[in-house]
């Protein structure tokens, strides 16, 4: 049986170029011609190596999560407070070699109903990240690092929404210094957040007439 013709391009390099395009322009904003031109390959070669555009995006998304986001390192911080600090400071520390913002946020914002399967994939991945944060904070409560009054779901949601907002701000051109200041301001709420809901004081009884 004759061997197939070897590929004339480097898969990792081509995938990196696709990732950069998706990160910059979003899923729908990136056309097939954009991809083939940036990757230096023909449409048949793209389909043969990566499948269709959606499959290529999923491969690029996997690469982004594995190599560009140190989420596991964030979750492995020794305290819940340090988890929060690492997450928000990572959102502020823009790498000049990469596009600003977060690929998951950027791509989801630009998806219409025509790309609903991609949008649902992005939503699922973002939810998974929030759930991982919640699990980490639940462990912190069990270990005594957070007080029993702390609400792990609230903490995870607060940090997720803040980080996503910072990502949008970064895409709009916010500097690292501005984003760091936002992160530090958000962290000032940490003592209040971990205190959890306090029971409302009982109403004073009305004096008898």
pLDDT in tens, 42-94: 999 999 999 899 999 999 999 888 877 778 888 999 999 999 999 999 888 87
Nearest to 168 by CA among 119, 122, 106: 106
Question: What mean pLDDT do residues 107-117 have?
Answer: 75
> Count of alpha carbons within 13 Å of 86, Cβ hemisphere only?
16
179 and 133 part of one domain:
yes
129 and 33 part of one domain:
no
45 and 108 part of one domain:
no
pLDDT at 178: 95
166 and 140 part of one domain:
yes
171 and 157 part of one domain:
yes
Q: How many domains does the chain have?
A: 2
User: Is pLDDT above 50 for 199?
Assistant: no
CATH code of the domain in which 15 resides: 1.10.10.60
Q: Which two tokens stand for residue 122?
A: 């992005």
144 and 107 part of one domain:
yes
CATH code of the domain in which 112 resides: 1.10.357.10
17 and 87 part of one domain:
no
List the domain range (segments joined by +) for residue 34. 11-64
39 and 111 part of one domain:
no
CB-based contacts of 53, cutoff 8 Å, min separation 6: 30, 32, 35
128 and 81 part of one domain:
yes
pLDDT at 8: 63
The secondary structure of the chain as a DSSP string is -PPPPPPSS-HHHHHHHHHHHHHHH-TTTS-HHHHHHHHT--HHHHHHHH-SHHHHHHHHHHHHHHHT--HHHHHTSSSHHHHHHHHHHHHH---TTS-SS-HHHHHHHT--GGGHHHHHHHHHHHHHHHHHHHHHHHHHHHTTSS-TT--HHHHHHHHHHHHHHHHHHHHTT--HHHHHHHHHHHHTTHHHHHH-PPPPPPPPPPPP-
50 and 150 part of one domain:
no
42 and 83 part of one domain:
no
Domain-embedded: residue 37: yes
pLDDT at 134: 97
Domain-embedded: residue 40: yes
For residues 64 and 197, the model is more confident at 64
79 and 93 part of one domain:
yes
Q: Which two tokens stand for residue 93?
A: 């520390």
User: Is pLDDT above 80 for 2?
Assistant: no
Domain-embedded: residue 208: no
CA distance 101 to 107: 11
Domain-embedded: residue 204: no
pLDDT in tens, 124-171: 888 999 999 999 999 999 999 999 999 999 999 999 999 999 988 988
Write down the pTM of the prediction. Answer: 0.80
Length of the chain: 209
């Amino acid at each position: 049986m004759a061997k197939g013709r070897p590929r004339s391009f480097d898969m990792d390099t081509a995938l990196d170029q696709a990732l950069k395009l998706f990160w910059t322009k979003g899923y729908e904003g990136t056309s097939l011609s954009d991809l083939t031109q940036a990757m230096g390959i023909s449409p048949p070669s793209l389909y043969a190596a990566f499948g269709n555009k959606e499959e290529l995006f999923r491969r690029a998304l996997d690469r982004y999560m594995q190599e560009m986001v140190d989420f596991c390192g964030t979750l492995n911080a020794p305290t819940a407070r340090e988890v929060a600090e690492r997450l928000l400071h990572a959102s502020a520390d823009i790498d000049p070699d990469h596009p600003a913002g977060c690929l998951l946020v950027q791509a989801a914002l630009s998806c219409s109903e025509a790309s609903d399967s991609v949008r649902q994939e992005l939503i699922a991945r973002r939810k998974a990240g929030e759930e991982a944060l919640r699990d980490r904070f639940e462990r912190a409560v069990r270990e005594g690092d957070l007080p029993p009054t702390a609400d792990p779901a609230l903490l995870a949601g607060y940090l997720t929404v803040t980080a996503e907002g910072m990502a949008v701000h970064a895409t709009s051109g916010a500097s690292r210094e501005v984003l760091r200041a936002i992160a530090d301001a958000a962290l000032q709420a940490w003592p209040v957040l971990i205190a959890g809901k306090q029971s409302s004081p009982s109403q004073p009884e009305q004096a008898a007439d």
